[in-house]
A = this chain, B = another copy of it.
Amino acid sequence: MIPDLVEAGTLGRVGIGSYSTEAGVTIDDAEIAYQRWGSFAGDAHGNNNILLIEHALTGDSNVADWWGDLVGPGKALDTNHWCVIATNALGGCGGSTGPSSPHPDGGRWGSRFPALSIRDLVHAEHAFLNKLGISRVHAVIGGSMGGARTLEWTLLYPDALDAACVIAVSARASGWQIGIQTAQISAIERDPFWHGGNYYATDKVPADGLAAARRIAHLTYRGELEIDERFGTQPQRGENPLGPYRDDNQRFAVNSYLDYQASKLIERFDAGSYVAMTEALNRHDIGRDRGGLNKALASSQVPTMVVGVDTDILYPYHQQEHLSRNLGNLLAMAKVVSPVGHDAFLTESRQMDRVLRNFLRLSSPDGPAPEPLESEYYI
C-alpha cells in the first residue's frame, strides 16, 4: 500500500480523533498538520524512504523553508531519494490543534488546552502516521525541541524507525533550562492582554509579552561571542543609548536586533502555542517512569546519532556528550563548531550538510547514496 500523502509542499491536515495527554486530559477532534517532499517508496510497514523531520520550538512543518539548504533535490536530505515528512507539533500554531484552535464546544481552546509533554507530541505524531497507514519510517531527525521529540521516538516507538538523529538537545530539561524557559512563560503571563491564556476572545494579543519572551530566548539561541562580535556596545544607527535619561527608543544595536527578532516572531506565532511548547520542553525528561535517565538511555535500541554545537548556551555540548555516553545504541557523534551557538544547527549549512549525509550513509548503508558535495572533491 502506498500512503495517500498530501501534494508535495502543501499543508495537509490529518484528524487523529481524541488524544489523551500524559497527564490525563482529552483533546477531542485533534488534527495534525503536515507537509511532505519527495515520493514515497518501499513498504509503509517495513523498509521505506521516509524521513520524519521534527521542528524546533517555534518551527513548523515547512522544513523546506527553515532547513532550506538541507532539504530538496540533491541536498543532504535529498528529496529525489527520500520522502521527507514534517508535521506541526500538537499544541503548535502551524495547522495542528493548539490553544488557538477552535474548541469543539465553541470559542478557542485557550486555557482549556492542556499541558503537553514531549511524549504527548510524539504520541500524537505517531497516531498521525498510523492514520496515513505508515507504521515505520527510515529515520526521525530533529534539533532542539525536535531533538527532544526524536529522542522520545526512540524510546516510545523503537520499532517504528530504523535510526534517529538527535541534534542540540539533552536527555532531560536541566534546571537552568527550566528556569530560563519559565522566565519566558512568565513574560507572556504578565502581559495584561494574556487573560490567563484566553485572549482569543478579545481584540488584543499579548504581543509585548511574547516579544519579551523571545528576546530572552534569542539570547540563549545565539553564541555569546557571536552576539558580541556583531553588536558589542554599538548604538543602533540614529539612536543614542548613552543619553541623559534611559529611553527605550534610544537603543544599543543589540537591543534593536533583539526587538527585530521579537517582532518577526509575534507576526507569525501564537502566544498560547509558545507557552504550550515551552511548557512541553520544561517537562522533557527521558528518565520519567523509566527508572531514571541513564537506565532509559541504556535501554535505547534504535541506532542514534547525536549532534551538538560547541558554543550552545541553551543545550551545552556536555549534554550531548552525556547522551552519547549513555545511549544504548550510539550510531555516531558529531560536533558542529561555530560561534553561532544553539542556532548553528539551522545556520551552519555546510557542516550540517556533512552531518546529515553522514547520518544517512551510516543509517542506510544499502540505501540511496547521494552525491558528495562538490567541495569534497577539492578539500
Q: Which residues of A contact B (CB under 8 A)?
A: 21-25, 111, 114-115, 117, 172-176, 178-180, 182-183, 185-187, 189-192, 208-209, 212, 215-216, 218-219, 224-225, 227-233, 241-246, 248, 252-255, 258, 275-276, 279, 282-283, 285, 288, 313, 316, 318
Q: In the complex, which of the residues B115, B182, B185, B189 contacts A245, with contact meaning CB atoms closer than 8 Å? A: B115
- Given A183-B212, A208-B190: A178 in contact with B233 (beta carbons within 8 A): yes
- Given A179-B219, A183-B215, A248-B189: A174 in contact with B227 (beta carbons within 8 A): yes
- Given A172-B233, A173-B233: A242 in contact with B183 (beta carbons within 8 A): no
Decide if B183 touches A219 in the complex (CB within 8 Å): yes
- CB neighbours of A246 from chain B (8 A): 115, 185, 275-276, 279
- CB neighbours of A255 from chain B (8 A): 178-179, 182
Q: In the complex, which of the residues B111, B178, B232, B241 contacts A282, with contact meaning CB atoms closer than 8 Å? A: B241
Chain B residue, CB-CB nearest to A112: B245
Most B CB within 10 A of own CB, among A180, A189, A225: A180
Decide if B115 touches A176 in the complex (CB within 8 Å): no
Decide if B228 touches A176 in the complex (CB within 8 Å): yes
Chain B residue, CB-CB nearest to A117: B242
Decide if A254 touches B24 in the complex (CB within 8 Å): no
- CB neighbours of A285 from chain B (8 A): 233
Chain B residue, CB-CB nearest to A258: B179
Q: In the complex, which of the residues B186, B219, B230, B313 contacts A212, with contact meaning CB atoms closer than 8 Å? A: B186
- CB neighbours of A173 from chain B (8 A): 233
> In the complex the two chains form, what is the Cα distance from A243 to B178 in whole Å?
16
Q: List 24 A-B contacts (CB under 8 A).
A: A22-B242, A24-B244, A25-B244, A25-B245, A114-B245, A115-B243, A115-B246, A172-B233, A174-B227, A174-B228, A174-B232, A175-B227, A175-B229, A176-B219, A179-B215, A182-B255, A183-B212, A186-B215, A186-B248, A190-B208, A233-B285, A241-B283, A242-B283, A252-B282
- CB neighbours of A111 from chain B (8 A): 245
Q: In the complex, which of the residues B190, B225, B241, B253 contacts A190, with contact meaning CB atoms closer than 8 Å? A: B190
